Structure 1
Amino acid sequence: MTVRTLILLRHAKAADPDDYATDIERPLSPRGRRDASAAGTWLHSEGLVPDAVLCSTAVRTRETLQELGLETVPVVFEQRIYHGPAPDTLDLVRQTDADVSTLLVIGHNPTLSVLSDLLAPDELPDNGLATAGIAVHRFGGTWRDLDRAALSAQHTARG
């Protein structure tokens, strides 16, 4: 049975929302750039280099991705990650190609924290993923089977 790894990464710290006309336009703050870079260093040190990335269309998620050092990894920018609730994001994950063993999803709260909790209940702190926080879920089976496979998911978190 193939082991799959799903990495959920909440975008790093964003600039003050009052400075931007719309939420989707908010870039990373200087701290956010440093934190995103540190998240990339951690992913590489743990051997968690994804085969593919699903990323929200928001500026801050795109900038988080830029800081990770994953220039050669294929990326799909998906508006549904910005707008959607956790079940919609899970549906996107379940559509991942079978040849992808490790998938990174870069998105927002509460969606990613709720999704992580669906996959591994009670593993995250009560306040969910912090900015630049990472939850790693490993499971056997296919991406399509993730909801059933999640019952035996192994979970680790950073930040």
Structure 2
Amino acid sequence: MKKNLLLLRHAEAVAYAAGKTDHQRPLTPRGTQQAYTMSELLHTQGFVPDLVYSSNAQRTTSTAEIFAQKLNYPTKNIIFDPSIYETTLEVMLDAINKTAPQHQNVLMIGHNPTISYLTEYLTGQSVAGLPNCGVASIMFEVAEWAHVSADTGVLAWLKHP
């Protein structure tokens, strides 16, 4: 049984916002456009997520909400996971491994460098750092997400705005 994991780096955010923490950085107008462009691409390719995970940082929540809207995924069902913010590859892999087996198409929205490291770890291929709103589609021939580990995925495609 195939599983499809889309790893997405958040869209472009304001570099520094006066009086705001890194966690509170909003998307730039360009970042908002990137999210609309890439979510439209996934929509035209027929991608329909069963589950959406996102960091709870403002730039990732905004990116996730744009993608959910375009992909007809209820925003109330997005899992905004604080552990995905400033995290390690192991924490993200643990979230993937704990995903219920009935989910076939999972979208995970996070931050560099971890999102790029995870792509490389799962596929054994270098992606040289996903740019803002870059997305990697990884296919797995596993029955359960618990079986996803190093080099078990195939990088189906890599796209960015």
Q: Assess same fold via TM > 0.5.
A: yes
Q: Look up the match of 1:50.
A: 49
In 1, distance between residues paired with 2:80 and 2:32?
19
Per-residue CA distance 1:64-115 (angstroms, 9 max, x = gap): 1122224534311101110211111011011111110000000100010000
Q: SS of the counterpart of 1:89?
A: helix
Q: Look up the match of 1:129.
A: 130
Give 1:48 shift: 1.7
In 1, distance between residues paired with 2:92 and 2:153?
20
Give 1:152 shift: 4.9
Q: 1:43 to 1:67 in 2, by over 3 A?
A: same
Long gaps (5+) in structure 2: none
69-78 or 137-146, which moves further after superposition? 69-78
Q: Say whether the 8 Å CA contact 1:139–1:154 is kept in structure 2.
A: no
Q: Look up the match of 1:146.
A: 148
Give 1:123 shift: 3.9
Q: Look up the match of 1:92.
A: 95
Look up the equivalent residue of 2:109 and give its one-letter code: I
Per-residue CA distance 1:113-142 (angstroms, 9 max, x = gap): 000000112341x2x100000001001111
Report the TM-score when normalising by structure 1.
Answer: 0.91
In 2, distance between residues paired with 1:19 and 1:113?
28
In 2, distance between residues paired with 1:134 and 1:20?
31
Look up the equivalent residue of 1:95 and give its one-letter code: K
Q: 1:82 to 1:18 in 2, by over 3 A?
A: same
Long gaps (5+) in structure 1: none
Q: Percent identity?
A: 33
In 2, distance between residues paired with 1:154 and 1:36?
21
Q: Look up the match of 2:37.
A: 38
Q: CA RMSD in A?
A: 1.5
Q: SS of the counterpart of 2:103?
A: coil
Report the TM-score when normalising by structure 2.
Answer: 0.90
Q: SS of the counterpart of 1:19?
A: coil
